Chain A
Amino acid sequence: MSTTAVPAALERGESPGRRALRRFMRHRLAVFGAVVVIAFVLAAMLAPWIAPYDPIATSWSNIRKPPSLAHPFGTDENGRDVLSRVIWGARASLMAGVVSVLGAVAIGVPIGLVAGLARGWIDALISRVADAMLSVPFLILAIALAAFLGPALENAMLAIAITASPIFVRLARGMALEAKATDWAEAARALGNPPWRVALVHVAPNIVPPLLVQSTLAIAEAIIAEASLSFLGLGQQPPAPSWGSMLNSAQRFLDNAPWLAVAPGLAIFVVVLAFNLMGDGLRDALDPRTDRR
């Protein structure tokens, strides 16, 4: 994808980073998403100080009490404060989302770069493995991996990281192929740069913008995946709070304690929506090729 015309922003002497930031800030919904994400990250980090109660302290006299001033989201089947559990649950969800995607990037990107730059049988092998993994639906592969690894939050994160990695293999491979064919990479090679230098200095940086977009959207998917695994009992183990496992126990008390199902689900929805908004905004801001809206 070589562009012959000099972009207007470059003529104005604006750096690509500044331009991206300007385009992102113009995107009001994306900024809203970023603000929400930051709020959730802060809540997760400050959980010990801002949660009104101990998230695992049970209370006999407070079993399944509807929302009140003392307990804005009510209490659960063990008398624990739902609000406190939702705040603490943000830790598990956000950590699982971010760590598993970082893991997927760390596994997928180097492998994808190697495939795209080496070509030949290495590329064929890597591509077929990625195809094979992508032919199993995401959640089913994650469930199978988590099942064989054993139920624990760390294993759920590992399962999600492995399952999500082929997306990044494909992305990095595609970008490497594309970047390799550009004039600047050609020029760098012609100047006598060794292949590894062309790869690291000229190819890799061009992968960062789409990688950032894909990662943000993948975090949204990973958070849903972690909640799904925890809902099934394959993620965070009780009594430690997680949104997915809270929904699982809430389902048993829909008749007499419906409030239990509202807050954790809403938390997942809002944080996933925020990451999706941010990802869409980043895509518009970072990709000079799209001029959506």
Chain B
Amino acid sequence: MGMWLLRRLGQVVPTLLILSFLIFGLQQLMPGDPALILAGEERGDPQVLAQIREELRLDRPIWEQYLAWMAGVVQGDFGFSWRIRMPVAELILSKLPVTAQLSVMAFIIGIVIGVPLGILSAVRRDTPADWAANAVALFGISTPNFWLGIMMILLFSVQLGWLPPSGYVPLWEDPVQSLATTIMPAFVLGTGVASVLMRHTRAAMLTALSQDYVRTARAKGLFDRTVVWKHAFRNALVPVVTLGTIEFGRLLAGAVLTEQIFTIPGFGKLVVDAVFNRDYPVVQGVVLTTALIFVTLSLIADLLYMAINPRLRHA
């Protein structure tokens, strides 16, 4: 187990290092001189331009720029926002709880819909119930998140007037209002998760149900319900849990558009605003943070996989 963890970490480090090259390299794609963009009205003043170049180390060789950036990143310093004049790390940390709340709610919705549907469609394979569950998953995968969001606003806010179309109230300030503002975006995000979880659960259950031990259990005359829950589902859970963890990481990307539509001041709104303000350090910081979260989640997924599947522990 210890050796395995070391080997796994040995894979993570080069991946993150390459990622840092890629994220830093993004800057080089940028058309034009960043100093000119930043100077704005003062672009004619050579003194201002020189000052900006020095402050951002744009006058140094590229490897020096990279090392300085990297030295900051490992100490948790992701640079300074060009527009908001705040440390990027601080900005990201202030927005992350909002998106985390949204993601957790979406994930719960995804599990509550996706896992039972997956079990149902596997147990009732090739019946109308199975087809219906598959249709739901296919619709969930094919519907663009942002369109579903707009349609929900149209129905629940504009037509029915039940829910606020936009805005956000923190959970600790007013829990009821907080839920009212986040339930629609969480549902929009949750449908995507539900579809993917449904397909994973169905596949895992079908595999589990075709195993010898399930046939033995059935042959022993056990009730169908006992076989499904005690024998098949417990084993099907293994891939579902691990894939579900990775799916949680994907919610961050989905949140970008969803937060935009419901004007929720989270992580996704931060990156979109940064893109339009040409606040590149923030864009880089967000990409780096999502990658760190994703890598951590897949590490957790692997650990969970080991924890719930004892056979792998001694491998």
Contact = CB atoms under 8 A, between A and B. Distances in A.
B75 interface: no
Interface stretch (A53-61, A109-117, A183-191, A247-255): A247-255
Interface stretch (A13-21, A98-106, A135-143, A207-215): A135-143
Interface stretch (B1-9, B53-61, B112-120, B254-262): B254-262
Nearest to A273: B142
B147 A138 contact: no
Contacts of A146: 275
A269 B143 contact: yes
Contacts of A272: 142-144
A218 interface: no
A231 B158 CA distance: 21
A164 B27 CA distance: 20
B15 A131 contact: yes
Contacts of A255: 158
A251 B258 CA distance: 13
A contact face: mostly helix, strand, loop, or mixed: helix
Interface stretch (A42-50, A76-84, A170-178, A220-228): A220-228
Interface string B148-163: 0011011000100000
Interface in A233-282: 233-234, 247, 250-251, 254-255, 258, 261-262, 264-265, 268-269, 272-273, 276-277
Given A128-B15, A148-B26, A231-B146, A140 B141 contact: no
B275 A265 contact: no
A145 interface: yes
A168 to B, nearest CB: 17
B16 interface: yes
A269 B148 CA distance: 10
A201 interface: no
Contact of B256 (A139, A254, A261): A139
Contacts of B153: 254
Contacts of A228: 144, 146, 256-257
Nearest to A159: B29
B290 A140 contact: yes
Interface residues of A, number: 45
Contacts of A181: none
A147 B15 contact: no
A276 B275 contact: no
A255 B159 CA distance: 9
Interface stretch (B173-181, B245-253, B306-314): B245-253
A254 B156 CA distance: 12
B91 interface: no
A139 B30 CA distance: 19
A286 to B, nearest CB: 18
A232 interface: yes
Interface stretch (B213-221, B225-233, B280-288): B280-288
A208 to B, nearest CB: 24
A247 B147 CA distance: 8
B146 A254 contact: no
9 contacts: A128-B18, A131-B15, A132-B18, A132-B19, A137-B294, A150-B31, A254-B150, A276-B142, A277-B138
Given A128-B11, A227-B144, A261-B154, 10 more contacts: A136-B19, A137-B253, A143-B271, A148-B280, A227-B146, A228-B144, A231-B257, A254-B150, A268-B147, A273-B139
Interface of A: 128-129, 131-133, 135-141, 143-150, 220, 224, 227-228, 231-234, 247, 250-251, 254-255, 258, 261-262, 264-265, 268-269, 272-273, 276-277, 293
Interface of B: 11, 14-16, 18-19, 22, 26-27, 29-31, 126, 138-139, 141-144, 146-147, 150-151, 153-154, 158, 165, 249-250, 252-254, 256-257, 260-261, 271-272, 275-276, 280, 283-284, 286-287, 290-291, 294-295, 298
**Minimum-distance CB pairs A-B, first 10:** A137-B253, A265-B147, A273-B142, A147-B275, A132-B19, A132-B18, A139-B253, A148-B29, A272-B142, A131-B15
